[in-house]
Amino acid sequence: MSSKAPIKSIVKRDGTVVRYRRDRIETAIFKATNAIGQPSRKLAKAMALKVEEALASTYEGDAIPSVEDIQDVVENVLMVNHHTEVARDYIIYRHQRAMTRAARAYAFEVTDNVPYKKIYEVLRWNMDHECDSVASLNRIIARKQMPDLIAATDRRYTEEAQAAAVRILEDLSDIRIVIIAGPSSSGKTTTMMKIGEKLKTAGVRFKAINIDHYFFDLEKHPRDEFGDYDYETPQALDLELINRHLCQLLDGKTIETPDYSFKTGQRTLDVHPFKLEKNELLLIDSLHGLYDRMSSSVPDEHKFKVYIETLGQFRGDDGTFMRWADNRMLRRMIRDKQFRHLQPMDTLTHWHYVRRSELRHIIPFIKNADCIINSALPYELPFLKNRLFRYISASTTRFADDPRRLDAHIRANRIHDVLKPLRGLRDAAAIPGDSLIREFIGGSSYGY
């Protein structure tokens, strides 16, 4: 048995934290052994114990694995211990459970914090445009049809952003603040600019405030055994100062926002004068924009809340859908390397902080959004592969023998398997300057 402290809690899909139970893992593995005609309680117990040991080594301190994390570890443990058939049936079982949840909820906009209706619309769009899989995207590249797909995809995304702006215009007499929220690298900043363009066309005046300047100094955040800081939680921001400034702005007062440097990890108070005129909207883009305490000082009727996520429905060669978070992590790898002086490996090993915060502080608030925008761009993946695949490939074996980095090992291999058969593209000339992906790969016509 591992000497590490046992896992006590897990994060469910709806963001709630519940008690960890090893017997749930054991039962799922037993069902897989039964499905292949070799039922074995002994094997199920042994593998469940190994899964628990792996979890205890990976998730230390206050780190809490999600249901999804645990299922990933189960698959990995079964494969590493050469129970290939059991692993395969467990994967099928897991997929069937996911499909059952989806079938129950297609009629609802948000169920279990997952916008199933929106996802179905995305899948249908991808299928109609023949860009829903590695094979179909490779065909588009071979036929030199990528410029057409880029144009169609950007048009769809822009129309969704403009539709959100129209809804704001419809309730303009009450709305004072527009919040664009969503997980890391979902494209919040570009979406804010797209919405702003539509509002400007309608003669609406607005100002955008940079919430990143409200980060506390980096050294004030918790630090793990590797020296990595956890700055992904809402508490990494000065929520008290944000709320005070929001009230002052809506009262017509001039504030002085802080200035935060990502290079130094330090903030300076009272730097940027900022004032909101009576007829101006305030635009905010923030990871935690839907988090209750972010803007609790402002009545809900004065806020319009947009949630943005890479709701991609893109299948690998094995038929498995690429995870939204994996798509976003690829974007962040590029952005961190270009603009934040971090290497792709740093982003990969830091990502467990990102996911933990998303599950606990972002995803549970989806239901509070006034509208949801899909920022996944099927055409972006070949360009992301060209820029990142060498780093992903190097990561597939780097952490194989380090139980503390099991999450990074699993994630790197999962992304590698999706991207390997996909053709990469280097020349991004066909991507316009106002495309959302330019926020990450550079060359944008917007000033970020």
Instruction: Please name each of the domains of the chain with its CATH number.
Output: 1-104 (no CATH), 106-441 (3.40.50.300)
User: What's the whole-number mean pLDDT along residues 102-128?
Assistant: 69
In this prediction, residue 4 has a pLDDT band, given cuts at 50, 70 and 90, of low
What was the pLDDT predicted at 364?
A: 85
In this prediction, residue 233 has a pLDDT band, given cuts at 50, 70 and 90, of confident
Asked if pLDDT for residue 113 goes beyond 60, the answer is no
Mean residue pLDDT of the chain comes to: 90
Token pair 């991507």 is found at 431
Element (H, E) at 152: helix 146-170
What was the pLDDT predicted at 447?
A: 85
d(C-alpha 376, C-alpha 324), whole Å: 8
pTM for the model: 0.82
Task: Write the CB contacts of 331 (distance below 8 Å, at least 6 apart in sequence).
Answer: 185, 380, 384, 437, 440
d(C-alpha 376, C-alpha 187), whole Å: 9
Asked if pLDDT for residue 112 goes beyond 70, the answer is no
More confident call, 14 vs 292: 292
Tokens of 342: 């971090």
**Poorest-confidence range of 226-240, 244-258, 291-305, 397-411?**
226-240
User: What's the whole-number mean pLDDT along residues 220-234?
Assistant: 80
User: What's the whole-number mean pLDDT along residues 332-349?
Assistant: 91
d(C-alpha 237, C-alpha 95), whole Å: 37
CA atoms within 13 A on the CB side of 355: 28
Tokens of 413: 């291999």
Contact 25, 51 (CB under 8 A): yes
The residue among 305, 189, 287 whose CA lies nearest residue 239 is 287
Contact 195, 398 (CB under 8 A): no
d(C-alpha 123, C-alpha 65), whole Å: 28
User: What's the whole-number mean pLDDT along residues 157-185?
Assistant: 94
Asked if pLDDT for residue 57 goes beyond 90, the answer is no
Asked if pLDDT for residue 106 goes beyond 50, the answer is no
Asked if pLDDT for residue 54 goes beyond 80, the answer is yes
What was the pLDDT predicted at 5?
A: 61
pLDDT digit string, tens, across residues 265-309: 999 999 999 999 988 999 999 999 999 899 999 999 999 999 999
> Across-strand partners of 223?
229
Beta strands in 151-302 (DSSP E): 177-181, 205-209, 254-261, 266-275, 280-286
What was the pLDDT predicted at 1?
A: 43
Task: Write the CB contacts of 241 (distance below 8 Å, at least 6 apart in sequence).
Answer: 214, 258
